[in-house]
Amino acid sequence: MFILDSRAPVVFRVHMLSSAFALLLVPLVIGLRQRPPLHRNLGRLLGFFVVVGAVTALPVAILSHSSLVARAGFFVQGIVWLGLLGAGLRAIWNRDRATHARFMVAMAAVTTGAVWFRLMTGSAILLELPFEESYAAASWLAWLIPLSIVTRWPGVVPALKA
């Protein structure tokens, strides 16, 4: 991260800060769904941080000194994050609350990838696993596993529909 910070200090710091705010706002916005005005206003703020975090994730992924596989994992996560937000917004603009909820839960799952990634890479270090390979695998699995759970596991959230 220090090398990346020296390569693109403004973009990297904006990415880290906005993504952190998104991660902090997700549970609050979900918890306030029974209070529509607060949910809506904080949801808009969350959406702003997701857009900024995802858009800045793209150059951060490209400029990273990580392997190509890891950079691709981070890049695709940013694209998926934006896509799920866009799909959720389209659903709520069409007054389809159920579809909106499913896409937003999926977006929240992708958001948690930041936490899972750190847990995975930290565990790899503790277990003395090969770091480069573990890092590359974690760049994909950290967000794909939570996304898979919320979109495919019966009873958590019904499967997403386009």
The answer to whether residue 134 is domain-embedded is yes
Residue 154 DSSP one-character state: T
Cα–Cα distance, 102 to 95 (Å, whole number) = 13
The answer to whether residue 159 is domain-embedded is no
The answer to whether residue 158 is domain-embedded is no
Cα–Cα distance, 65 to 81 (Å, whole number) = 22
Report how far apart, in Å, the C-alpha atoms of 128 and of each of 1, 35, 65, 88, 122 are: 20, 47, 21, 40, 10
Kind plus residue range of the DSSP H or E element containing 157: none
Q: Please state whether 129 falls in left (phi above 0), alpha (psi between -120 and 50) or beta.
A: beta
Return the pLDDT at 3: 72
Structurally, the chain folds into a number of domains equal to: 1
pTM of the model: 0.86
Cα–Cα distance, 100 to 11 (Å, whole number) = 30
The answer to whether residue 161 is domain-embedded is no
Return the pLDDT at 162: 44
Cα–Cα distance, 135 to 41 (Å, whole number) = 36
User: In the chain, how long is the greatest CA-to-CA distance?
Assistant: 50
The answer to whether residue 104 is domain-embedded is yes
Domain that holds residue 10: 2-152
The tens-digit pLDDT sequence of the chain (162 residues) is 667 666 777 888 899 999 999 999 999 998 898 898 999 999 999 999 999 999 999 999 998 889 999 999 999 999 999 999 999 999 999 999 988 999 999 999 999 999 999 999 999 999 999 999 999 999 999 999 999 998 886 555 555 454
